[in-house]
Structure 1
Amino acid sequence: MIKKIFLILFISFFCFIDLSFSSSRLPILESKLEKIDKIVAVVGDEIILESDIKDSGYSIKNFCKNLLNNKSIYNNDLIIKKLILFHAKKNKNIKIDSKKIEESIHLFLKKEIDKLDYSNRVKFITNIKNNKNLDQLISFEIDKQYIDKMINEITKDVEISPEEVKSLFYDLKKYYTILVPKKFLISYIIIYPEVNNFFRKKTLNYLSEIRKKVNSNPCSNNKLFSDIKTFKINKVPKEFNIAFYLKEQEVSEPFETNDGFYLIKLEKIKHNELDIRYIFIEKKYFNDELINTKLFVNNLENEIRNKNLEIEEIVENNIFNNKNVNSFFNQKIWVNENTIIKHFGKLNLNNNNIIKGEKNNYFFIVKFLDSVKERPFSLEKDSIYLENVVRYINKKYEIENWIRSVSKDTYIKCN
């Protein structure tokens, strides 16, 4: 039981590092830079600003008070992060890999750009060139690398023993009945009809007109939008990511997803939350589009069956080539039954069978490859998982001991 609590604390500890440097926060930095940011605390020569505290979910009013009352820094993620960062920069063994920083930023920018239509891509690239967002992202990536390397340095000598692994297993078994759920190995294709060009142009023009009116008068036409939806920065749905590149009260260009057409309005930025309104118009397909797509899916299924093709062969050999449909592939992934039901409905999967079907506005072909039955949690079969858990716990102890040691000689002041 105690070991489980330590595990939860340890995973939470590492999660805060990831979330603190989440690149999804980058786009709201421009708004923060317009305000005067007050220094609340100092760790070594690393500062903690009001905006850092807000983004981490702490109360500015109680931040220092709680820290002093607890007489401990061990439960304060923000202080711990700054403490590790301060000592990482002083450690001569830690060198920043500039190439990895460039690769990480390039990957992030590519992912963000790929989500946008042409007009919003131009806007995003212009914003990156004309403001300090890129400098902020570079700074975040450098700090993240410092912290990752320092944690590796602190925990490099951590070892695990077979006895520790067994002890954890029997502790878990004592208090819980753990079952590993049944899993299926599948490959699949999801196919959407290509929407009629007339409907697309008409919808995009309609949304563009609304955008012009609202951007010229932000208070107008709010009735056309949804009620305000509030999202945490790191939990914004992918279809709303464009909101990160908007100013308050600004409306995005209309854009298209597999499900339909969106217009997003950013109402307000609140600490680590976004208030968003949106207009969504579902895609409508004519009967001939649905019939043609269904015919294509039938032909593709026959091709797979008759030639005993794997899904990856279709992708690699460009067999799947039709401008009248949009598609999404996934090859050889393990999923549980709930995931299958969510995306495809109840399927009767058995040895090497192929199932085609239709759900909402898309068609699919699923190829069953293998399965693993539900079974009790096992010391032998789940040894790698158990070893990783023990390693996490031991690293947590090592980091906590390191914090106790260095915090005594580190200048920490909270105003």
Structure 2
Amino acid sequence: MNRHIKFVLLTTFILSFFSINISAQLKTGDLVDGIAVVVGDEIILESDIEDQANFAKQQGAQVADKCEFVESIISNKLLIYEAKRDTLIENRSQAIKEQANQKYTQILGQFPDEKTMLTTYKFRTSYEMKNAIEKIDTDNYYGQMKFQRITDKADVTPNEVTDFFNMYKFQLPEVKDEVSLSQITMYPKLTDDHKNEIIARLNKIKKDIEGGESFESQARIYSDDPGSASNGGLYTNIARGKMVKPFEAAALNLQEGELSEPVESEFGYHLIQLVKKSGRMYDARHILLKAEPNADEIATARKELDSIRTLIMEGKLTFKEAAYRFSDDKQTKFNAGIVTSQDGSDRIEKLNLPPTLSYQIAGLNKGDITDVFQDTERDRKVVSIIKVDDVIAAHQLDINTDYDRIKQMALNKKKNEMVEQWVKERLPNVFISINDRYKTCTFKTDWRKTTASN
């Protein structure tokens, strides 16, 4: 079940997703590359804008005005330029490059083949697409970090929230039908015989590698990890603390080139080879065999959770107590089982619920609990029960019932204003050049008049 359901209250300067279809606005004969904008020593190419727009469109971005899009890039580039000069912001270039490769692999998994993916995203080669992803992720990282540095001390008082509501209440969006939910989720446990079977398979793979087979080829054939299998099981520049504890402990106890024994984690069983270790970073290969429960193991888990549900229905155990004692979901078990959206709210739009969850709670009222049902969560088979904590009918945002949301919107507005002011103060000290191709654009900020030598 996807608990991270997006609910955007107010956009910011940061370009997490770009929103334009530039290709539809370019006329025959227009340049397809060349320098579009220079901000300090940061260069924005026409091809960068095109690549980012194509990539964003495939990620579900909405079409917006071309000039607004370009201006948002300029604003973000100014943040990026200053962020790279800020010694308090960590340089994460290597980690971002590795993440871009992983993201490329994940996107590829959504298509039947690489050619189809590249055609859909309008890239000629895998190198071009990986490079575009890396550029976008790098810009997002530095832009977000500088945005956070500028707005770190931002806050709003109750009076400011009230003033914001009174000023914008007729423009605030209507909240669609929502629910508040709690869950108990259990991972079916494998029998000892099933575990031993998986371990035996890994040991056979290990023996073949020790006998001369390459780790890379065995990973491509056998590994169930979509993020690394096609790359021979390799993860590079892994920072300590990034991987799950059993994986990291085993990897860092190896000598370079050494193979581990089968290692169990929440994802399954791993065969690990340490490739390189340097300071707090290391490279490692692994082969993952998922611990996929069979029908009998799922049935056992369903029976156990159904017994827990009965205790709750009979009043012998509260849902909160049961979630803490029995749920395997770390994100909700310590929070009374409460399911939250991406913005941290415990209210979730019904239209944004995953199909399985929407089906399970259909027709239920406040206080009702679903029967035990099977689901898939983060590629793992689980059994769950859901309690409907509240049902909220569609309504216009109101300060009496939606104070926290309105407060966040007021805070976002204040942060945007802080960044706008910061941009105006920095402009006289930063060289900015915009190609005449955009001379007909009416920007919110007069970038040309404020242009100065660096």
Q: TM-score, normalised by structure 2?
A: 0.46
Q: TM-score, normalised by structure 1?
A: 0.49
